[in-house]
Amino acid sequence: MLNRLQGDAIHLRKRRSPCSRLVPACRVVVFGLLMSVILLVLPGAFIMAAEPNEVIKLWPGTPPGPAREVGEERDTTKPEDNLVGGRRIIKLANVSVPEAHVYLPPADQRTGASVVICPGGGFHILAWDLEGTEVAEWLNSVGVTAIVLKYRVPTSQIEPKWLQPVQDAQRTISIVRSRAKEWGLNAEQVGVLGFSAGGHTAARTALTTERLYEAVDDADNQSFLPNASVLVYPAYLSNKDNTKLPEGLAVTKDSPPTFIVHAFDDPIPVQGSLLLTMALKNANVPSELHVYDTGGHGYGLRPVDSKPVTMWPERCEVWLKRIGWMK
């Protein structure tokens, strides 16, 4: 679990004051007003994410792959780190026990579709709120069940660095399908969404046609292949010359429809998204690409007036409706 909260911690020191003599109900009102003012005036103030309905440990035993000694799981955010959309980011490091955090919309609003979310972080950390829990809240708001994947990091010193995250993603998709009836989901509408390195994880998960680990229980009798993918500023999708897709990343006619977002000035080369779109086109896989002239990298879905790329969720909602995943 996270060891500290995102943003500037707010400590209220106990002391006697006029408020301490108020009746309990009045104290609650005063405290609520105080917190509202704090959240409005402090750009780095913490905004509490909804709690998941369930947290699932992905592997019944030791996860596949070599053992990793990574230290205690913790948030590595520093006070001097840049804000995104006026707020700080939870940078979750040293994940050795991968988990699926399940967020269910109200039953009467559930469309049946579900999406596994892969936060980015260069395979070093996970941008847990920016590219994870906040995305779950958005998907829930449109009736889509969200599963935030806490995949193993760091893996940047392991080759291939994407292997363990993709194993975790494949396992998560199989688990979601095994619980589909219980959660009121359509097992044929399970998607994957990722940002940056998580976008690479999502792309690999969407395009890899073999399970990358030995089945461990009955959940693995379910397919590990997603029915759709959403890639937001995906990383590492081109070779060093930006002329072709990386080795082992191949599109076929059976690859899932894909929605891709990238900014022209992103330090992660936009050519990766262009090359993948061309491959999807050549395989006749219905897909959609949005390239914006500016926007950079790492914006999640926090809106910024001067960056139209941050409005990508609106375009994605239209796409989700068109493929029948939203009402």
Q: In what order do the strands lie in the sheet with 54-57?
A: 54-57, 99-103, 145-150, 114-118, 190-195, 228-232, 258-263, 287-292
> Do residue 24 and residue 65 come from a single domain?
no
How would you write the pLDDT of the chain (327 residues) with one tens digit per residue? Answer: 444 444 443 333 333 333 333 344 444 344 444 444 333 333 333 344 579 999 999 999 999 998 888 899 999 999 999 999 999 999 999 999 999 999 999 999 999 999 999 999 999 999 999 999 999 999 999 999 999 999 999 998 889 999 999 999 999 999 999 999 999 999 999 999 999 999 999 999 999 999 999 999 999 999 999 999 999 999 999 999 999 999 999 999 999 999 999 999 999 999 999 999 999 999 999 999 999 999 999 999 999 988 999 999 999 999 999 999 998
Provide the number of structural domains found in the chain: 2
Q: Are residues 221 and 110 both part of a single domain?
A: yes
Can you give the pLDDT at residue 68? 81
pLDDT at 176: 98
Q: Which of 9, 33, 48 is the last residue of a domain?
A: 48
pLDDT at 168: 98
Whether the CB-CB separation of 123 and 168 falls below 8 Å is answered with no
Instruction: Please give the pLDDT value at position 157.
Output: 86
Domain hosting residue 5, numbered range:
1-48
Q: What is the pLDDT of residue 32?
A: 45
- Domain identity same for 22 and 126: no
pTM: 0.86
Q: Are residues 181 and 248 in the same domain?
A: yes
Cβ-count burial 77-95 (b if 16+ within 10 Å, e if not): beeeeeebbebbbbbbbbb
Quote the pLDDT of residue 49: 53
Q: Quote the pLDDT of residue 34.
A: 42
**Structure confidence at residue 11 (pLDDT):** 38
Residue 53 included in any domain: yes
Nearest to 267 by CA among 299, 315, 224, 227: 299
CATH number, position 81: 3.40.50.1820
148 within domain boundaries: yes
Helices 163-178 and 197-207: crossing angle in degrees, nearest 10, is 60
Residue that is last in its domain, among 26, 48, 70:
48
